[in-house]
Amino acid sequence: MEKAALEWKQVVKKRDRMVLGPVDLKLYDNYVTALIGRNGSGKSTLMKLAAQLIMPDEGEVTWYGQSYPQGLPTDVRASIAYVPENFASEEDSLKMDDVAAFRAAWYPKWDWQRFEELLNRFDVPGGKKMSKLSKGQRRKFEIAAALAIRPKLLLLDEPSSGLDPFAWKTMMNEIRRCVDEDGASVLLSTHIVEEVRRMADYLVLIDKGRSLGLLEKDALMDRGREIWIGRDDELLAEMPGVVESAIESEGMVRFVTLDYAGSSALLDEAGVKPIRVRALELDEVMEHWMNGGLSN
């Protein structure tokens, strides 16, 4: 059984315009898990609960099997790195070096060599005040600082916002390295399909404050197919997992299924050979999942 790095147990959090939960969800250790969903679905709230920046109104969050309702101990908090979508302004008047030194004092595993290396690779000029950094430069600084603490748990809320393509590629490689070499667990909230495709091991769909399931990305991709067959209305009606269908011509029908294994078995049983089969792209499968076409 996979070990849980993070677990939300019957968690409810009431916000101004939305109620998150109840959420029952596990984040598996040493994997990248991507939170997907529409804007306002509750992804950032889930992330803040994981960083214990807010507390649940009901239920509990556990870190490696332990709950800390009175606050995270110093050693646990020092093992968590969080990069929010929007940055606080408290550090705006400080210089980059002073901010880095302050954070290094709080994180025993802070790696100056890695931090400087990442700033160089991200092409972030030194010596500036935080307020003078562009949005992209500030994002690069925060990602470099998060990776410099060599976190056990890395929380990233829309990390690619404001990044140029070169920095984006570096970021993805470094996050994967953080998992593969350092054994970290990563929770990633993103709208970028390519990030999900290249980095995620698991996907969690959040919709209207509810978790609609956790699925392994590769297993999810195996489910989705677009299939063309000779028209047979009765057979089509029996086909499992169909989320879309259309008559292509007088003698041919096209359908999209999210249960390819079941559909393929039924076609074999009926002695029907598909005219054509196309694997769905990740964004297509995600869209059908968001629209309610898939259950665990």
Q: How far is the CA of 248 from the CAs of 1, 197, 233, 253, 278, in angstroms? A: 46, 30, 13, 5, 15
Residue 183, Cβ neighbours under 10 Å: how many?
Answer: 11
* Among 7, 158, 174, 195, the one annotated catalytic: 158
DSSP reduced 3-state for 268: helix
For residue 295, what pLDDT is reported?
60
pLDDT tens profile 6-64: 999 999 999 888 899 899 999 999 999 999 988 888 999 999 999 999 999 999 999 99
Distance between CA 100 and CA 123 in Å, rounded?
16
Q: What class has domain 4-219?
A: alpha beta
Question: Of all residues in the chain, what percent carry a pLDDT higher than 70?
Answer: 99
Q: Which residue has the tokens 């470094």?
A: 174
Q: Which CATH class is domain 225-279?
A: alpha beta
* Strand 32-36 versus strand 202-207 pairing type: parallel
Q: What is the DSSP string of 185-248?
A: EEEEE-S-HHHHHHH-SEEEEEETTEEEEEEEHHHHHHH-EEEEEE--HHHHHH-TTEEEEEEE
Answer yes or no: is pLDDT of 296 > 80. Answer: no
Domain boundaries, the chain: 4-219, 225-279
Segment 249-263, tens digit of pLDDT: 878 999 999 999 999
Q: What are phi and psi of 154, to 5 degrees?
A: -115, 120
Helix, strand, coil tally for the chain in percent (to 5): 35, 30, 35
What single string gives the DSSP state of each residue in 51-95?
TTSS--SEEEEEETTEE-TT---HHHHTTEEEE-SS--STTTTSB
Tokens 């297509």 locate to 284
Active-site residue, 244 included:
no
**What is this structure's pTM?**
0.89
- State whether residue 12 is helix, strand or coil: strand
Per DSSP, the chain holds a count of helices (H) and strands (E) of 11, 14
Distance CA 238, CA 263 (A): 9
142-161 pLDDT, tens per residue? 999 999 999 999 999 999 88
CA–CA separation, 255 and 253 (whole Å): 7
Give the mean pLDDT of the chain.
91
Of 2, 60, 7, the C-alpha closest to 29 is 2
pLDDT tens digits, one per residue of 176-208: 999 999 999 999 999 888 899 989 999 999 988
In the predicted structure, residue 1 carries a pLDDT above the cut 60: no
Closest C-alpha among 271, 276, 245 to residue 258: 245
Return the residue matching tokens 């950032």.
44
